[in-house]
Amino acid sequence: MPLSRPWAMIFGLLLPATTLSTCAPPEPEAEEAPAEPSAPTRVVAIGDLHGDLQATRQALRMAGAIDAADRWIGGELVLVQTGDILDRGDEEEEIFSLFDDLKTQAEAAGGAVHVLNGNHELMNAYLDFRYVTDSALSSFGSGIEADPPDSLLASVDPGERARAAAFRPGGPVAQELASRPTGLVVGTSLFVHGGILPEHAEMGLDEMNRSIQAWLRNDDPQPEWIRGDRSPVWSRLYSDQPNLAACDTLSWVLNTLGVDRMVVGHTVQPTGITAFCGGRVWCIDVGMAAHYGGRPEVLEIRGDVVRSIR
């Protein structure tokens, strides 16, 4: 599968700045303030897919993003997938390719497709293949030369070396992952796989994304905070029946970042998409992949109106 197309993380139309006229004598013209990106009319978010192409297609059609031939029909729709395309299913590579194609088609139509990194994408980058199926292990990355192996690849089981060569920092698939954000703001909604905690908000989303992307490119060491329950891709603070203290923390984070809500995946919601903390966090991992036996469901955001589509 060709994995050379970059996946954009910035979208929006720039609004023209307002110019004020003054009375004589004329004053020097003030510099224009930076224009703000306009909020999209319609945003749809899709949760964890875990290598299930059929569930992916069902969710995309439910979202109004694709037709029966997998062509983009979403127009100016902004689509966000919150990570965990990898592991537990066999069709990872096909899903990567589908989203890659849809990104190009959406941009041509005035829309956008954003795919985030989840914990399973980053696990593969640090060569944790415990949840990779046998089929995916032998197929994804099979064209990557891993022979003769260097010292790192020599320490990996021979059957895993091709995938390790593809996914390790600096590898071709890791380079594609490096083009994705981990946290993304669209309009007044913040999207992340696990959850943004106060330390991430204080760091700033730009720096958080930059650190992870630099590691994936093999430019910097792996950030210490990328693993564990304080990681933005591992935290379940807001998605596992959050208590009042967790909701207070969420409010602080949202207020600090100037957004209205957070949308997260990672924690399967057995009854479908669930809102906690008075609708300030929406949990969209519905276990739709065959591994979990759930059914597709997506989240739609139109201005202040947020609803699930099933």
* Amino acid found at 278: G
Q: Where are the beta strands (DSSP E) in 112-188?
A: 112-115, 183-186
For residue 297, with 0-12 CB atoms within 10 Å meaning exposed, 13-18 middle and 19 or more buried, which class applies? buried
Map residue 72 onto helix, strand or coil.
strand
E-strand stretches of the chain: 43-46, 78-81, 112-115, 183-186, 189-192, 261-264, 274-276, 281-283, 298-302, 305-309
Q: Which pair of tokens denotes residue 132?
A: 């990779």
DSSP 3-state assignment of 138? helix
8 Å CB contact between 159 and 137: yes
- Does residue 266 have an active-site annotation? no
120, 193, 200, 266: which one is catalytic? Answer: 120
Distance CA 128, CA 125 (A): 7
Q: Which residues are catalytic?
A: 120
